[in-house]
A = this chain, B = another copy of it.
């Protein structure tokens, strides 16, 4: 299969490996993902992978980063609730069963490999989300639905934390009722509380 073929190098090879890792992830899931299988699927061998990534977790994070879609602007749906629901739904859509199980697995391995913890933090800290939330809140303020308020870092990170906890504990997919409850029972009250503190 390889004798007459060309031998890939650099970025081309790297991308092939990451794509193979992603495919394996989708098919067998994180707990059953093996480096050997990724190597085989990518048409290469284990040492090639180990030369680039020190652990399965690091490899998977790299594959994940490659797939992370570009941030899209938040549409103005006419109300704070609708905007938030749109955002929560969009996050939930990308956090399917495979993704939850992968994140859980990577989180578990982060304790063994400190460098993985850093990668994971970068991956989850999500500046794009912060910007989207900022826009949504600004729009709500412009509409008169909300007083202006500063959004602390942990508030910006909260949607991801909420959805991730929910997904891991309750299993995915998350129902619309669940998303609505998170928006109505937690996030909107929080924003109102922050605004009251700040603006009044």
- Scan residues 7-44 of chain A and give those whose CB is less than 8 A from a CB of chain B: 29-31
A110: chain B residues at CB < 8 Å are: 104, 168
* Whole-angstrom distance between the Cβ of A24 and the nearest chain B Cβ: 15
Say which one of A65-73, A82-90, A189-197 lies at the interface with B. Answer: A189-197
Q: Do A169 and B121 contact each other (CB < 8 Å), given the known contacts A158-B186, A192-B196?
A: yes
A109: chain B residues at CB < 8 Å are: 31
Which residue in chain B gives the minimum CB-CB distance to A111? B101
Residue of A104, A152, A190 contacting most chain B CB atoms (<10 Å): A190
Q: Measured between alpha carbons, how far is A118 from B85 in the docked complex, in Å?
A: 28
Which residue in chain B gives the minimum CB-CB distance to A194? B189
Say which one of A46-54, A137-145, A159-167 lies at the interface with B. Answer: A159-167
Q: Do A154 and B185 contact each other (CB < 8 Å), given the known contacts A161-B161, A193-B190, A196-B192?
A: yes
B31–A169 touching, CB < 8 Å: no
B185–A189 touching, CB < 8 Å: no
A192: chain B residues at CB < 8 Å are: 193, 196-197
Q: Does A174 contact B (CB under 8 A)?
A: no
Which residue in chain B gives the minimum CB-CB distance to A185? B152
B185–A155 touching, CB < 8 Å: yes
How many protomers of this protein does the assembly include? 2
* Whole-angstrom distance between the Cβ of A147 and the nearest chain B Cβ: 11
A105: chain B residues at CB < 8 Å are: 108, 111
Which residue in chain B gives the minimum CB-CB distance to A191? B193
Q: Measured between alpha carbons, how far is A107 from B164 in the docked complex, in Å?
A: 11
* Whole-angstrom distance between the Cβ of A140 and the nearest chain B Cβ: 14
The digit string for A60-102, where 1 denotes a CB below 8 A from any CB of B, is: 0000000000000000000000000000000000000100110
B165–A165 touching, CB < 8 Å: yes
A-B contact pairs, 9 of them (CB 8 A): A29-B111, A100-B111, A110-B168, A117-B169, A152-B185, A154-B186, A157-B165, A189-B190, A192-B193
